[in-house]
Amino acid sequence: MTQLEIRGLAKRFGGVQALNGIDIAIDGDGITGVIGPNGSGKTTLFNTIMGVHKPTAGQVIWDGRDITGWPAYRIAATGLVRTYQQAMSFPGISVLDNVSIGFEHGCDRAAPRRWTSPESLLGFVGLDGRGDEIAGSLSFGNLRRLGIAVALAAQPRMLLLDEPGAGLNDHEALALRDLILQFPGMGMGVCLIDHDMALMGAVCSRFIVLNFGTKIADGTPADVLQDRKVLEVYLGE
C-alpha cells in the first residue's frame, strides 16, 4: 500500500513554531481531513510536505522514498500531487491547453491512465464543453474545477487538496463532494484541508487535528469530534 509518512516534522518561521514535531502516516486508499483553528499549521504542513518550505527537522517519506525538501515538480513526478488555494492554472490560455500540458508531460509515468484524453478529464470534473474557453474567463467555481483537473492530469496516487471548498456555493460544494468521493475508488488517496465541516464530515474517514503546530487528535471523525482536547480547542470547553 502506498503510504505518505511524516516523521517528526517541524518548521519554524523566526519566532513561530508553525509545526512542532508532527508524526502522521496516511494510507493511499482513504480520505483524511486535516482540521484545526486558523494558524494551527495546516497549510504549513502541506507546504513542508511538498517542498515549498524546507523543514527545520523531520522527514517526509512517500512510497518508501525520502522526499524531504524535494521541489514540488519532482515530488509530483512520483505521484504525490497537490492543489493550491488559489487556482494555479494559466489564465491566458484555453481550459483544454491547461489540462493538456499536464496530461502530455504528465507526471507519474508508472500510474494508471484513468482518462484517455484531456477532454475526458474535463468532462470528469464537470467542465464538459468548456475546453475552448480562456481559463481566466471561467467563473470562480469552474476555475476551481480546472485547478483539480490540472492536478488530476498528473495521474496522482495521492492528492493533497488545500481548501478546495473555499468560496464555493452550496451546489458547487455538493459537486466537489461527489468528485472527491470518487478518488479512492480510482486508486487515489486524498488528504485535504477545508473549513467547510459539512464537506469534511461527508468525505473524510479520518480527521487529524492540529493546534499550535502539534497533532492533538487522530481518528475517525466521530471519535475525534468527541475528544476532550478537540472540544477545548473548538468550543473553549
Burial of 203 (0-12, 13-18, 19+ CB in 10 A): buried
The Cβ of residue 169 has, within 10 Å, a number of other Cβ atoms equal to 10
Q: Which of the stretches 35-43, 80-88, 99-107, 229-237 binds ligand ADP when contact is defined by CB under 6 A?
A: 35-43
Q: Is residue 39 a contact point for ligand ADP (CB under 6 A)?
A: yes
Q: Is residue 100 a contact point for ligand ADP (CB under 6 A)?
A: no
Q: Which of the stretches 11-19, 74-82, 104-112, 182-190 binds ligand ADP when contact is defined by CB under 6 A?
A: 11-19
Q: HSE, CB side, 13 Å, CA atoms: give it for residue 109.
A: 2
Q: Is residue 43 a contact point for ligand ADP (CB under 6 A)?
A: yes
Which of 40, 89, 100, 142 binds ligand ADP (CB under 6 A)? It is 40
Q: Is residue 18 a contact point for ligand ADP (CB under 6 A)?
A: yes
At closest approach, how far in Å is the CB of 160 from ligand ADP?
13
The string of DSSP codes covering 77-93 is TTTEEE--SS--S-TTS
Question: How far is 4 from 232, CA to CA, in rounded Å?
Answer: 29
Which of 28, 36, 189, 221 binds ligand ADP (CB under 6 A)? It is 36
Q: Is residue 16 a contact point for ligand ADP (CB under 6 A)?
A: yes
Q: 205 is written with which cell numbers?
A: 474517514
